[in-house]
Structure 1
Amino acid sequence: MKISIVAVNSVNGLISRDSDYDVDWSSPDDRKFFKKITTSAGVVIFGRRTFETIGKPLPKRLNVILTRTPEKFHSTENLLFTNDEPEILISKIGRLGFKHIVIGGGREIYTLFLKNKLVTDIYLSIEPIILKGKVTMLNVEELNNDIRLELEELLKLSKNTLVVHYTIPENRVRELFSP
């Protein structure tokens, strides 16, 4: 099982100006990359606030929304609201036949999966903008330890947009999914 964080950052390390998680500043190239990787995976996990910012389920993908109150929402064929713990959730998704899960945001969800060592890859788009804002990708105070990454590849999406792909060798995904 591959579990990837896919995020876009400004040059100064922000994912949003404020807690609305609006990413109106990302490039068409980044949005195209996000669509390609999430469509290929077939499943994407969002936090409720990030999902509400998007406003609707992404087509041709299972959209899993982590929320403390799933009973307040209506799940459909490609939209699942849940408060499952990350390990339980990825097991359920794996049993549905998915081999790749994308964590699409936001900050709380990225931190939760990294804290639980349930991330194998990070795809970090870097956009050429310095944002006036305050929302960083992670709440590092919640992490248990430093997390070492290995550079897998560097992709140039356009003249100005890069994607840095890291792998995380120390994760629990193999132990959860080995026979």
Structure 2
Amino acid sequence: MKVILLAAISVDGKIAQSREQNSTDWTSKEDVRFFVEKSKEIGALIMGETTYQTIGRPLKDRTIYVLTKNPDSQVSKKGIVFTGGLLQDVLKQVEKDGFSSVLIAGGASVYSQFLKEGLVNELFLTVEPYLFGQGIPLLTDCPFFSLEFVSVKPLNQQTLLLHYRIPSV
């Protein structure tokens, strides 16, 4: 299973100014377009409960696996699967559902958990032209990783899309 971390960040490495902020409040339309295209191409996304709450609905042509501490207290519906437990088991569930790749779509603790467990193969980071100062960092607790540069692509005159691989995975 290929695991791809996908995030939009400010120049100072923040994914949001607060837990309530939706990334589409501050990211470019080109970043949103990339997210839609990549997530439809892959078909499966894993995100934490807080990130899901900022979206609050199923996404057309995609399945969202929402990581929660109490999956049995939530009602799954078409396109939304509430799940929990070991990340390896969640990935097995995604694979069992017919997906060969999955996007990790936030938030910071979910990104960090997947990286800490050595489960991420690639990263796509959209860098937007903002300095938040205060806010939520991309990673909350993560070991050192050496990344292999794949590409950089301007999405517009001010926004860059960085693509990296993690060689050891």
TM-score w.r.t. structure 1 length? Answer: 0.90
Between Structure 1 and Structure 2, how many residues are aligned? 168
The reply on whether 1:104 has 2:74 as its aligned counterpart is no
Check conservation: 2:68, 2:83, Cα contact below 8 A.
yes
The reply on whether 1:6 has 2:6 as its aligned counterpart is yes
Check conservation: 1:6, 1:103, Cα contact below 8 A.
yes
Q: Distance in 1 between matches of 2:15 and 2:44?
A: 21
Gaps of 5+ in 1: 172-179
Check conservation: 1:21, 1:50, Cα contact below 8 A.
no
What is the aligned partner in structure 2 of residue 41 from structure 1? 42
Runs of 4+ in 1 over 3 A off after TM superposition: none
CA RMSD of aligned residues (A): 1.1
Cα deviation 1:70-107 (Å, max 9, x = unaligned) = 12211013110011311011112112221110000000
Give the fraction of aligned pairs with identical amino acids, expressed as a percent.
32
1:159 to 140, 157, 160: 157
Deviation, 1:21, is 4.1
Deviation, 1:132, is 4.2
Map 1:76-91 to 2 at 5 A.
76-91=77-92
1:149 to 147, 155, 160: 147
Q: Distance in 2 between matches of 1:159 and 1:138?
A: 26
Letter aligned with residue 87 of structure 1: Q
Check conservation: 2:151, 2:162, Cα contact below 8 A.
yes
Q: Distance in 2 between matches of 1:5 and 1:164?
A: 12
SS in 2 for 1:159: coil
